[in-house]
């Protein structure tokens, strides 16, 4: 099964130990359907999303010089397909996603704790594309010293939403708010 298969309605992202940003991606049945592979020594915190056959689907990398966290989403050959940006001022967790032409295409709005996010149309908050939930949030509260890895669940609400951008969105949110 391909990581971007349209039949997938839920993704479960398991980050590896010590928050290096790599790990596995599973479907709800526990089958491995993808891999997050982070370059260990990279100033841009580069992460590759890969299919189970190890073919690269996209590359997510942090911009080096910026007043706020900005992450580029690129094809395997380096073409920009999206960009995630944290707004300059946000009281609650928020990340905006732009296309390659710098048009805002999605808005992820989270709560004060920044554990759960709803991805909507930036112009119509009632049009929901997906929900991202942190699966191990209480461990962050009660055992932060043992918080070596994160788990996220992405529930696809709109079956026509592009899986690639939603997966990249979850990784960007984790990097901005939880992997400091």
Residue 70 lies in a domain: yes
Strand partners, 65: none
Residue 83 lies in a domain: yes
Q: Which domain holds residue 134?
A: 10-177
Residue 60 lies in a domain: yes
Cα(61)–Cα(89) distance, integer angstroms: 22
Residue 3 lies in a domain: no
Residues in the chain: 180
Tokens representing residue 130 in the block: 């997906």
pLDDT of residue 139: 47
Q: How many domains does the chain have?
A: 1
| DSSP structural state of residue 17 | G
pLDDT of 54 above 90? yes
Cα(137)–Cα(126) distance, integer angstroms: 26
What is the domain-level CATH number for residue 157?
Answer: 2.40.160.200
Residue 4 lies in a domain: no
Residue 1 lies in a domain: no
Residue 130 lies in a domain: yes
Residue 2 lies in a domain: no
Tokens representing residue 28 in the block: 């709800």
The 3-state DSSP class for residue 8 equals coil
Per-residue pLDDT tens digits for 85-104: 988 776 678 899 999 999 99
Any idea which of 18-27, 28-37, 54-63, 158-167 has the lowest mean pLDDT? 18-27
The reported pTM is: 0.83
Per-residue pLDDT tens digits for 107-163: 999 877 777 999 999 999 999 999 999 876 544 444 444 444 567 899 999 999 999
Cα(162)–Cα(3) distance, integer angstroms: 11
């Amino acid at each position: 099964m391909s990581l971007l298969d349209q039949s997938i309605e839920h993704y479960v992202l398991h980050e590896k130990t010590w928050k290096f940003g790599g790990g596995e991606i599973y479907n709800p049945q526990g089958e491995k359907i993808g891999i997050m592979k982070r370059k260990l020594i990279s100033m841009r915190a580069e992460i590759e999303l890969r299919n189970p056959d190890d073919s690269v689907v996209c590359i997510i990398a942090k911009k080096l010089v910026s007043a706020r966290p900005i992450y580029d989403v690129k094809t395997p050959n380096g073409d920009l397909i999206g960009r995630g940006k944290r707004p300059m001022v946000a009281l609650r967790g928020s990340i905006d996603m732009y296309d390659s032409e710098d048009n805002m295409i999605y808005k992820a709005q989270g709560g004060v704790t920044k554990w759960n996010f709803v991805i909507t149309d930036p112009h119509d908050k009632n049009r929901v594309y997906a929900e991202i939930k942190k699966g191990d949030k209480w461990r962050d509260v009660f055992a932060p010293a043992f918080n070596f890895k994160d788990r996220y669940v992405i529930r696809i609400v709109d079956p026509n939403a592009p899986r690639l951008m939603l997966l990249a969105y979850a990784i960007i949110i984790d990097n901005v708010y939880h992997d400091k």
